Amino acid sequence: MERNEFIVARAGRFLNDRFLPALQYSDYRKLWYASMCSQSSAWALIVARGALAKSLTGSDLWTGLVTFAAMIPSVLISPLAGYLADRFDRRAVMLWSFGVNLAHNLLLAFLVVFGAIEAWHLVLLAVVNGSARSIQMPAASALLANTVP
């Protein structure tokens, strides 16, 4: 068996043996769909925020700073985020982080719609968004273990 065939066969076994059966649990299914939507929107936001920074400033440096500001909290906050996920109710931690991201998105939309957005706003909001996402991810990962018996 060639390497590619082996990889495809192994992935197929994973889907049939683990992933698809887990979808029969309603809580897991809801969390999986919510996580999929959350991750997709987070990456869309990262791209859109970078494009907005480039559009506002014309500078590749600002585009990089905005993207860096969104990513650095995952390095700095991860140890604290794991502690929060273990110490407090994971659903509450996730709801809190989603609430912060909702407020972030509403503020960002408000600033853009009313033409008040500046590059430093993007950097500051990227840090807020990245921090909330960094707290949400360990809680979501830990919560997965609680949803499937």
Q: Would 118 be classed as within a structural domain? A: yes
Residues with Cβ within 8 Å of residue 69, at least 6 apart in sequence:
122, 123, 124, 126, 127, 130
What pLDDT sits at residue 73? 92
Q: Would 14 be classed as within a structural domain? A: no
CA dist., res. 92 & res. 136, Å (int) = 10
What pLDDT sits at residue 33? 83
Q: What are phi and psi of 2, to 5 degrees?
A: -75, 160
Nearest to 53 by CA among 66, 41, 42, 44: 66
The whole-model pTM stands at: 0.78
Q: Would 72 be classed as within a structural domain? A: yes
What pLDDT sits at residue 8? 45
Q: Would 124 be classed as within a structural domain? A: yes
Q: Which domain holds residue 47?
A: 25-147
What pLDDT sits at residue 24? 74
In order along its 149 residues, the chain shows pLDDT tens digits of 565 554 544 555 555 566 667 677 777 778 888 888 888 988 899 999 999 999 999 999 999 999 999 999 989 998 888 888 888 888 888 889 999 999 999 999 999 999 999 999 999 999 999 999 999 888 888 877 777 66
Q: Would 110 be classed as within a structural domain? A: yes
Q: Would 18 be classed as within a structural domain? A: no
| Tally of domains within the chain | 1
Q: Would 108 be classed as within a structural domain? A: yes
Nearest to 126 by CA among 73, 54, 51, 59: 73
Distance of CA 102 to the CA centre of its chain: 12
